[in-house]
Structure 1
Amino acid sequence: MSHLSSFFALEVLNSANEGITLVDMEQQGQPLIYINSAFEKLTGYLKEEILYKNCRFLQSGLPKQPETALIREALEKRQSCRVILQTVRKNGLRVDAVCR
């Protein structure tokens, strides 16, 4: 991908109304390597607070959710999936998040 194409792709991600994250599945712990401003608004966390962390922290204090196994299975098979996970915003409010 050219530098210009990368720039436009990043602009599209940044301007999306939906919260978008990118995860590095090759690194240990699968850290978040990108979040857009819509994700910051949805979660209440700033990029600086959550980049390079695993997104599981958004489920801290919640019971284990079977949907996480579906996500893991889809990733292993390199397939897409769509699940709804309960997450916790920075202010402690529990919200449902659509994960694709």
Structure 2
Amino acid sequence: MKSIRLPEELSLAIERTLQAELEALHIGFFLDRERQDAERRRIEAEGTSGAQLILAEGLVREIIELRSIEAFRELAKSPNKKIIITDGKTPYLINT
């Protein structure tokens, strides 16, 4: 009973069955990983959307003007030459 040889057809059928089961496991693993990745992206998108809504609610004209002033103050500290054109409301920066 140490050496039992199965018929060739039976041996090939067993190998094909094992190969199919292994392939099914690989496909299942791949699908699970893709589902988890899709869920992660959905959660990330929900977080980004929520953050944008919070920012939009607090984004008023005064805050935008303050941020613009802060940005131009930082630019003014730079030793590089600048030209700023403004209509009195919105400054435009031209790099020369």
Which TM bucket (shorter chain)? under 0.3
TM-score (normalised: structure 2)? 0.22
| Higher percent of residues as helix | 2
TM-score (normalised: structure 1)? 0.21
Higher relative contact order (CA 8 A, sep 6+): 1
Report which of the two structures shows the higher radius of gyration computed on alpha carbons: 2
| Higher percent of residues as strand | 1
